Amino acid sequence: MAETVHPPISPPATAALSLRGVRVVFGDFVAVDDVDLEVRPREFLCLLGPSGCGKSTLLALMAGFAAPSGGSIEMGGEPITGPGPELGVVFQSSDALFDWLTVADNIAFGPRMRGMSKAERAPIVDEHLRLVGLAGAAGKRPPQLSGGMRQRVQIARVLANSPDIVLMDEPFGALDAQTRTVMQRELDRIWRERQSTVVFVTHDIDEALILSDRIAVMTAGPEAGIKSVYDVTLPRPRDEDTKSYVDLRHRIREDIAVEVVKSLGDRS
């Protein structure tokens, strides 16, 4: 078997990030209810679920942009009190880039804010420009770049800041299908090079299967939670034509389809 399904709670010895009983309430509306999740060190974890299920809300909590209404989120045993350089975030929209800065200066932003000198920053910037394949675009500014290139800048900007955990909120969601596929393969390569701890939000099953060590499937909101967690032990880079890949995709799809039907049923 290429994967196993187990209950959501599976605490390893030391978690990079652990969510316990997390609840998010907006007024009377319970968006997320009772989420338990452990992010293991150096794993690539996908949060997969239908749109509107609260996966981006969960990610915003992990990034420290908001506090949960209930429960706790801890990083290395300490509660998260707010955003900071240890929690890198790649946003869905490239509006998050600084349009007035060059690509190189965008990548240098984090190290500059943390007080590194220009000489200290230069090798970091060069390394990350190369890592994401943008060495030729160092002097350009984000508005001059394609959507795929802008997301490469976002990824390089976060990695250059050496965060403990990288949080990615549907970073390829606004890209066309071809660029998207290329970017997924690129990110897989970058991850294998870096082995950072990544939490990646997506609604695309193939994206999750290409990138993840584990996939946490979410139930449809309201009162969204984690339905099941799949271990993906297929060898990287993932081959979409193997039987085990196809079987796993089939099972996850069924799992999600139930939730989509449920969410549609709620609305009618």
Which of 97, 208 has the CB closer to another protein? 97
Which of 49, 88 has the CB closer to another protein? 88
Show the binding pattern over residues 69-108: x = contacts another protein (CB under 8 A), - = does not.
-------------xxxx-xxx-x-x-xxxxxx--------
Rounded Cα distance, 2 and 32, in Å: 30
Query: Least Å distance between CB 161 and another protein?
Result: 6
Q: Return the residues of window 175-234 that contact another protein according to CB under 8 A.
A: none
DSSP 100: T
Q: Are 32 and 225 in contact (CB under 8 A)?
A: yes
Tokens, residue 220 = 């449809």
By CB under 8 A, residue 8 contacts another protein: no
Nearest-Å Rg of the Cα atoms of the chain is 18
Please list, in sequence order, all residues whose beta carbon lies within 8 angstroms of the beta carbon of residue 75, skipping any fewer than 6 positions away.
16, 17, 86, 87, 164, 165
**How many residues lie near another protein (CB under 8 A)?**
27
Altogether, the residues listed in the chain come to a count of 268
Q: Are 86 and 76 in contact (CB under 8 A)?
A: no
User: End-to-end alpha-carbon separation of the chain, Å?
Assistant: 39
By CB under 8 A, residue 164 contacts another protein: no
Query: Least Å distance between CB 202 and another protein?
Result: 18
Tokens 């009190």, residue located: 81
Query: Least Å distance between CB 76 and another protein?
Result: 17
Query: Least Å distance between CB 64 and another protein?
Result: 8
E strand or H helix at 74: strand 70-75
By CB under 8 A, residue 41 contacts another protein: no
Which of 149, 226 has the CB closer to another protein? 149
Q: DSSP for 35-70, please give it.
A: EEEEEPTT-EEEEE--TTSSHHHHHHHHHTSS--SE
Query: Least Å distance between CB 121 and another protein?
Result: 13
Q: Return the residues of window 126-155 that contact another protein according to CB under 8 A.
A: 141, 143
Distance of CA 69 to the CA centre of its chain: 22
Q: How many helices (H) and strands (E) does the chain have?
A: 7, 11
Which of 16, 226 has the CB closer to another protein? 16
Which of 90, 248 has the CB closer to another protein? 90
Show the binding pattern over residues 42-71: x = contacts another protein (CB under 8 A), - = does not.
---------------------xxx------
Residues binding another protein (CB under 8 A): 63-65, 82-85, 87-89, 91, 93, 95-100, 109-110, 113-114, 141, 143, 157-158, 161
